[in-house]
Structure 1
Amino acid sequence: MASAPANDWFLKQWVETLRTSQAELERRTGWDKRKASHLMNGKQPYKRDTVNEAAMALSIDPFELLMHPDDAFALRRLRENAIRIAADSRNPFHREAEAKTPRPDIAVNE
């Protein structure tokens, strides 16, 4: 019998990172204590519905449960920065304003 991957999903780490508890997760999902404990400790396999329920209860995207919270937060920051850069590059006035604004470290001769 093949053993399950060590880091199949990161439910326990998300619960810890979001400073919630197993009891709160049970309340939000409607899971009984046994199911929550087995899912948190990797003793019970999960299905798509389980991932969706946990993600909704934790207010995160379902795919984020499949990655460590640190990686998910880094991905969020990367996405936010990419959106900000794309928005700046679409604004034609942004570059003109930068070109007209003198840099404070450069003296302007009048």
Structure 2
Amino acid sequence: MTSVIQTLPQVHQSLFEAKKTKGETIAEKIGRDEVWVAALFYGQAKPTDEEVDKLARVLGIQAGPLHSHWHKHYFPERGQLTPMPPTDPTLYRLYEIIAVYGYAIKSCVHEKFGDGMYVLQ
């Protein structure tokens, strides 16, 4: 069975490979949250040039291919990693939370803060 990681571009796969030897302090060392770093590894976030340099330094890999990749792929393709609804049990439970409580949460947010949609002029 193919893992999601195996379907990612090679540059992202190299991040996961390098991480195996570095442990869990990557986020702290580059000054970002661990969930954001995980999203970056999966191609769902975009780093700044400075963050790319820090990441390469922490992982002990060359920054050049990372810079080239993120300059070429300016906008991450968010939400493209899994079919909908997700088949992974953990992801399915998160999806289910939105399916069951999404409109209730939306209603509460709108009641307290408005609809969040503003037209900039």
TM norm structure 1: 0.42
Structure with greater contact order relative to length (CA < 8 Å, sep ≥ 6): 1
Larger Rg: 1
TM norm structure 2: 0.39
